[in-house]
Chain A
Amino acid sequence: MILTIAHKEFRSLFVTPSTWLILGALQFILAWFFLARLDAFLQVQTQLAQLANAPGVTIAVATPLFGTVAMILMMLIPIFTMRLIAEERRNQTLTLLMSAPVSDSHIVLGKFIGLMLFLLLIITSCILMVLTLAAGTQLDTGLLLTNALGIVLLAASYVALGMYVSSLTAQPVVAAICALAIFFGLWLMEVSAIENDNIWRSLTPTSHFQSFNNGLLNSTDLIFFLLFCTSFLLLTIRRLHNNRIYS
Chain B
Amino acid sequence: MSVTAPITLSARNLIRRFGQREVIHGISLELRHGEVLGLLGHNGAGKSTTLQMLAGALLPHSGQIEICGFDLSRQSQNAKARTGFLPETLPIYREMSVNDFLIFAAKLHRVPRAQIADALSETKRRCGLQDNGGKIIGTLSKGYQQRVGIAQAIIHQPEVIILDEPTVGLDPSQIRDIRTLIRELGNMHSIILSTHLLGEVESICDRVEIMHHGRLIYGNSSTKMQQYGCQPGFIVTLLAPPALSELQAIAEVQQVDQLSASQFRILHAANTNPSAALLALAAQHGWQAEQLVPLRTRLEDVFMQITQDDKL
B91 pairs with A96, CB closer than 8 A: yes
Stretch from A51-59, A98-106, A183-191, A229-237 contacting the other chain: A98-106
Q: Are B85 and A99 neighbours in the complex by a CB distance under 8 Å?
A: yes
Residues from chain A with a CB closer than 8 A to the CB of B95 are: 12, 15-16
For B82, the closest partner residue in chain A by CB is A101
CA distance A209 to B91 in the complex (A): 40
Name the segment of B100-108, B127-135, B183-191 touching the other chain: B100-108
Label chain A's interface by main secondary structure.
helix
Per the CB 8 Å criterion, the residue count for chain B at the interface is 31
The answer to the question of A198 belonging to the interface, with a C-beta cut-off of 8 Å to chain B, is no
In the complex formed, the residue of A with least CB distance to B56 is A99
Write out, one digit per residue, whether chain A residues 1-32 have a CB within 8 A of any chain B CB (1) or not (0): 10011001001100110000000000000000
**Given known A-B contacts A4-B107, A101-B77, A102-B108, A245 and B59 have beta carbons under 8 A apart:** yes
CB distance from A209 to the nearest CB of B (A): 34
B80 contacts A12, C-beta separation under 8 Å: no
Q: Mark A135-156, 1 if CB is under 8 A from B, else 0.
A: 0000000000000000000000
Q: Which among B76, B92, B104 is the interface contact of A101 at CB below 8 angstroms?
A: B76
Cβ of B298 < 8 Å from any Cβ of A?
no
> When the two chains form their complex, are residues B85 and A95 in contact, meaning their CB atoms are under 8 A apart?
yes
Q: Which of A87-134 contact B (CB under 8 A)?
A: 91-103
B77 to chain A: which residues have CB within 8 Å? 101-103
Q: Which residues of B contact A244 (CB under 8 A)?
A: 57-59
Judged by a CB distance under 8 angstroms, whether B89 is at the interface is: yes
Distance between Cα atoms of A12 and B105 in the complex (Å):
14
> Please, which residues of chain A bring their CB within 8 A of the CB of B58?
244-245, 247
User: CB within 8 Å of B: which of A215-247?
Assistant: 244-245, 247
* A12 x B93 contact (CB < 8 A): yes
- Complex alpha-carbon distance, A91 and B78, angstroms: 27
A93 touches B93 (CB 8 A): yes
Q: Are B91 and A95 in contact (CB under 8 A)?
A: yes
Q: How far is A245 from B89 in the complex, measured between Cα atoms in Å? A: 19
B55 touches A (CB below 8 Å):
yes
A100 touches B59 (CB 8 A): no
Q: Note all chain A residues with C-beta closer than 8 A to B79.
A: 101
A245 contact set on B, CB distance < 8 A: 58-59
Q: Is B87 an interface residue (CB 8 A)?
A: yes
B85 surroundings in chain A (CB, below 8 A): 95, 99
> In the complex, A97 Cα to B109 Cα: how many Å?
10
In which size bucket is the chain A interface? 20 to 34
Nearest Cβ on chain B to A242's Cβ, whole angstroms: 10
State in angstroms the CA–CA spacing of A65 and B175 once bound together: 60
B105 contacts A92, CB within 8 Å? no
Query: A11–B107 Cα gap in the complex (Å)?
Result: 15
**Which residues on A sit within 8 Å (CB–CB) of B76?**
101, 103
Taking CB atoms, residues of chain A closer than 8 Å to B296 are: none
Bound-state CA distance A54–B192 (Å) is 76
Which of A8, A95, A101, A247 has a CB less than 8 Å from the CB of B109? A101
Note all chain B residues with C-beta closer than 8 A to A8: 104
* Contact (Cβ within 8 A) A95 B52: yes
CB neighbours (8 Å) of A102 from chain B are 77, 108
Q: Which residue of B lies closest to A97 (CB)?
A: B108
> Which of B55, B59, B89, B108 has the most chain A CB within a 10 Å cutoff?
B108
Give a binary string over B137-156; 1 marks a CB under 8 Å from any A CB, 0 the rest.
00000000000000010000
Find out whether the CB atom of A96 lies under 8 angstroms from the CB atom of B108. yes
| Known contacts A95-B52, A98-B56, A244-B57; A4 and B108 CB within 8 A of each other | yes
Q: Shortest Cβ distance from B142 into chain A, in angstroms?
A: 15
Known: A12-B95, A95-B52. A101 touches B87 (CB 8 A): no
Q: Return chain A residues, CB-CB under 8 Å to B89.
A: 92, 95
| Cα–Cα distance between A190 and B246 once the two chains are bound (Å) | 103
Cross-chain contact B152 with A96 (CB below 8 angstroms)? yes
- In the complex, chain A residues whose CB is within 8 Å of the CB of B57: 95, 98-99, 244
Question: What per-residue 1/0 map shows which CB atoms of B48-65 lie under 8 Å from chain A?
Answer: 000010011111000000
Interface of A with B (CB < 8 Å)?
Answer: 1, 4-5, 8, 11-12, 15-16, 91-103, 244-245, 247
Q: Which 6 A-B pairs have the closest CB atoms?
A: A96-B91, A101-B80, A92-B89, A99-B55, A101-B81, A98-B57
- 19 pairs across A/B with beta carbons < 8 Å? A1-B110, A4-B108, A8-B104, A12-B95, A91-B94, A92-B87, A92-B89, A92-B90, A92-B91, A96-B91, A96-B105, A99-B56, A99-B83, A100-B108, A101-B78, A101-B80, A101-B81, A244-B58, A245-B58
With A4-B107, A92-B89 known, 16 other A-B pairs at CB within 8 A are A4-B104, A8-B104, A91-B93, A91-B94, A92-B87, A95-B52, A95-B55, A98-B56, A99-B55, A101-B76, A101-B108, A101-B109, A103-B77, A244-B57, A244-B58, A245-B58
